[in-house]
């Protein structure tokens, strides 16, 4: 039992240290999974399943520890409830790595006296890993937090192939490299020697990695040249650093608005911003009925700029029997200097138990963490908000971790992605850095600049190459202005590359069905 535990601990520790946050040693991504895959190669499928689960449990406990801050400090739950919730979430996430290791072990692992096949491992492992990453992103509303490919966010030369197959393609390459490492560590040279039939999987893996690496370098040069020809837009982001504990209090509303107005004024008068972006729910009131919105509009008239701000919204419709039905939205509002509303967007992918309670009929005693009169409703509009040459694809909060939301917005014409969020929930944890890392890949996949405004940070600007032009620290007041390029060119990811993860999931299932009888 000691060997699977050590292998799982080694991989979990190495990969956790590679992810953005306090350590962030990204080169560990190229070797971190090798101990786990080496164990899978030399073990029976059942043991691989257990080791994969233990690996996933430890890895996600270290990755998602900030759940304790969300539920405890801001949700008001005692440690006796928030800690089990964290463990249950980590255990759920671990199920996907467990099944991935099981499938890989079923095809490439040891069976009785027969040694594992390094050649099979090299290709099965990335297919299974990406396939189950994809399933984790769609099942039960999805939670694709920090797949391995996101760890490369700070290396622009290495991530350009994301416009082919999304961040899943980057994960595929990393697991492929780790599979080659595991094969080498297993000293299975007899199985992969040149001249043998089993050598082709290794040669094919090396060729694929070289091809994707070469594409990434060439694509970097090509997009960089196109940026010089792109029309620039002058955009400002404002980070109010409003304490989550007082954000929704009646007494702090005026002070909150004045903070954002004071930070925004220099960006309009001196920075020349055409558009000022405030974070998610920067307006802690309903702008449709609160006279405090006049204070905001008057400030825009001075600077002659447009404002995109997060705000709670509501609609009233006639219900059955003539009764009014009120629905609430976590929204974004585009306001002009004359007070004109240029457009609204309602968040489409809500946070379970954060913004609404699933199965409300059976859980009437639970309330969402976000302060609101009732559960938020999910929006349906996918199109961008139009402001002159800018067509804004809106991503509210953790919508930025779902590739399809950004892709669908770009498909409908967005040439600038705008991510507004309130990361105060995470405290001074690794989560704000990880959230920013995932947003970077949305820019590369779609070849669109991305503007990010967060209440407590990280706020900043990302160009279509994934380069962070400017960014703030966390938990400081800040206002930054930058010229961002407006690109309109489509990407292979948008045309069909977004199906790469699903293709891996289907292929993993087919391999399991086809290969299992042969291994009995």
What residues are paired with 114 via a beta bridge? 111
The CA angle 124-156-502, to the nearest 5 degrees, is: 35
Cβ neighbours around 246 below 10 Å, total: 13
What residues are paired with 462 via a beta bridge? 450, 468
Contact 407, 494 (CB under 8 A): yes
27 burial level (CB within 10 Å; 0-12, 13-18, 19+): exposed
Q: State the virtual CA torsion across 243, 379, 419, 129 in degrees, nearest 10.
A: 110
Give which of 10, 97, 104 is closest to 52, Cα–Cα.
97
d(Cα 491, Cα 446) in Å, to the nearest integer? 6
Q: Which of 173, 247, 274, 397 is catalytic?
A: 397
Tokens 């240290």 correspond to: 17
Half-sphere exposure of 19 (CA within 13 A, CB side): 28
Going from the C-alpha of 48 to that of each of 41, 110, 488, the distances in angstroms are 9, 10, 46
Q: Which of 274, 280, 344, 399 is catalytic?
A: 280
Is 504 designated active site?
no
φ, ψ at 129 (rounded to 5°): -60, -50
Q: Which of 347, 355, 399, 445 is catalytic?
A: 347
DSSP of 178-221: HHHHHHHHTT-HHHH-TTSGGGHHHHHHHHHHHHHHHHHHHHHH
**End-to-end C-alpha distance for the chain, whole angstroms:** 24
Is 347 designated active site?
yes
Contact 216, 152 (CB under 8 A): no
Q: What is the phi-psi region of residue 45: left when phi exceeds 0, alpha when psi lies from -120 to 50, beta otherwise?
A: alpha
Contact 157, 220 (CB under 8 A): yes
341 burial level (CB within 10 Å; 0-12, 13-18, 19+): exposed
DSSP of 272-302: --SEEE--TT-S-S-TTT-TTHHHHHHHHHH
Contact 26, 75 (CB under 8 A): no
Is 280 designated active site?
yes
Three-state DSSP at 111 gives strand
Cβ neighbours around 249 below 10 Å, total: 13
Q: What is the phi-psi region of residue 195: left when phi exceeds 0, alpha when psi lies from -120 to 50, beta otherwise?
A: left
* Residues annotated as catalytic (active site), given as ranges: 280, 347, 397
């Amino acid at each position: 039992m000691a060997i699977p535990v050590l292998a799982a601990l080694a991989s979990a520790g190495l990969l956790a240290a590679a992810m953005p946050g306090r350590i962030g040693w990204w080169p560990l991504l190229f070797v971190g999974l090798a101990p786990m895959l080496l164990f899978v190669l030399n073990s029976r499928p059942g043991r691989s399943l257990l080791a994969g689960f233990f690996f996933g449990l430890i890895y996600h406990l270290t990755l998602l520890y900030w759940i304790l801050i969300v539920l405890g400090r801001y949700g008001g739950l005692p440690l006796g409830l928030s800690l089990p919730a964290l463990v249950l979430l980590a255990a759920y996430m671990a199920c996907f790595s467990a099944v991935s290791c099981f499938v890989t072990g079923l095809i490439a692992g040891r069976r009785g006296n027969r040694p594992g096949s390094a050649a099979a491992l090299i290709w099965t492992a990335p297919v299974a890993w990406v396939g189950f990453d994809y399933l984790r992103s769609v099942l039960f509303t999805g939670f694709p937090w920090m797949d391995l490919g996101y760890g490369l966010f700070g290396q622009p030369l290495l991530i350009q192939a994301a416009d082919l197959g999304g961040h899943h393609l980057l994960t595929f390459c990393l697991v492929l490299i780790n599979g080659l490492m595991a094969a080498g560590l297993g000293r299975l040279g007899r199985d992969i020697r040149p001249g043998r039939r089993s050598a082709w999987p290794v040669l094919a893996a090396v060729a694929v990695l070289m091809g994707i690496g070469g594409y990434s370098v060439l694509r970097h040069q090509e997009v960089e040249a196109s940026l010089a020809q792109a029309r620039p837009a002058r955009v400002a982001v404002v980070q109010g650093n409003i304490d989550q504990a007082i954000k929704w209090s009646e007494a702090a509303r005026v002070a909150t608005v004045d903070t954002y107005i004071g930070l925004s004024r220099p960006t309009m008068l001196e920075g020349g911003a055409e558009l000022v972006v405030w974070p998610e729910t920067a307006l802690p009131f309903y702008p449709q009925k609160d006279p405090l919105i006049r204070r905001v509009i008057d400030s825009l008239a001075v600077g002659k700029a447009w404002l995109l701000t997060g705000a709670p919204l509501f609609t009233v419709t006639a219900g059955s029997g003539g009764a009014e039905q009120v629905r609430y939205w976590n929204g974004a509002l585009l306001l002009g200097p004359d007070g004109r509303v240029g457009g609204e967007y309602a968040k489409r992918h809500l946070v379970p138990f954060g913004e609404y309670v699933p199965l409300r009929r059976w859980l009437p005693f639970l309330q969402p963490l976000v302060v609101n009169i009732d559960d938020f409703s999910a929006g349906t509009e996918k199109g961008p908000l139009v402001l002159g040459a800018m067509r804004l694809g809106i991503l509210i909060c953790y919508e930025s971790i779902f590739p399809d939301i950004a892709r669908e917005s770009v498909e409908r014409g967005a040439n600038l992605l705008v991510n507004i969020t309130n990361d105060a929930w995470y405290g001074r944890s690794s989560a704000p850095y990880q959230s920013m890392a995932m947003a970077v890949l949305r820019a590369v996949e779609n070849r669109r600049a991305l503007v990010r405004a967060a209440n407590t940070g990280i706020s900043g600007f990302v160009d279509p190459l994934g380069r962070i032009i400017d960014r703030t620290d966390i938990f400081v007041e800040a206002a930054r202005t930058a010229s961002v390029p407006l690109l309109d060119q489509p990407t292979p990811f948008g045309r069909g590359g977004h199906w790469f993860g699903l293709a891996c999931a289907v292929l993993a299932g087919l391999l399991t069905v086809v290969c299992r009888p042969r291994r009995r």
